[in-house]
Amino acid sequence: MIVPIKPLIAAIDTSDRDEADRLIAAVSSYCGMIKLGLEYFLRQGPSGLIVVNENPLFLDLKLHDIPNTVAGAVRSLAALNVAMLTVHAAGGPAMVAAAREAAETNATDAQRPQIIAVTVLTSLDASTLHSTGVSGGTTQQVLRLARLALDAGADGLVCAAHELPQLRDAFGEKPILVVPGIRPAGSPAGDQARVMTPTDAIAAGASYIVVGRPITQAANPGEAAREIARAIQ
């Protein structure tokens, strides 16, 4: 597996454009990508993405709808200089395939957004999945959705760090594996049910790790990002 030169993705989880701009300026030197999500995008719209400047953008909208609607959304987003874009694997193979095909519209493979399929949210555990009708635990569901998404053309997956060994064993080095729920040693888990430290996640096979509050809520976000980036070099 080839780990990116800067495998840290900083999650800028705010709806405020000025705050996003301040945080991105502080951390971008240490990050391979900047993540903006639904909260920010709904408040600021497409024009708000300019805050990332020259930084590659991971737009985490977790698209999940009928294939035609998702394809239209991806075509629209592909024009916004998005490097990676999330869809829900649970949307099914036709939806994932439609997203991949739409991403390729009027773009070379090097320029198009990478389609990253969300398997099981890191806020969910086995008991929560069971309450929604999914049996077999988180790992089985992650592997099931991962195979579905990758066979349909997804470039990679969002997964919890604890599923990394099983995913690498099952699918090898090719898929991009993006891992949220990352907490430096001593950090509170917050609303994440399945967490891991940055160094352990990279060692387990993560392509990118996503870190939010331990960076953005630090007294010095730039220093916090620098320390995490140093730890995973």
| Structure letter (DSSP) for residue 113 | P
For this structure, is 6 an active site residue?
no
Q: Residue with structure tokens 């806020």?
A: 123
Structure tokens at 228: 């995490």
Beta strands in the chain (DSSP E): 8-11, 33-37, 57-63, 84-88, 114-118, 156-158, 176-179, 208-211
Question: Strands 57-63 and 33-37: what pairing?
Answer: parallel
Name the residue type at position 55. Answer: N
* Cα–Cα distance list, 1 to 65, 77, 105, 205, 207 (Å): 32, 29, 29, 7, 8
Question: Considering only CA atoms, which of 14, 18, 31, 1 is closest in space to residue 233?
Answer: 31
**Which residues form the catalytic set?**
62
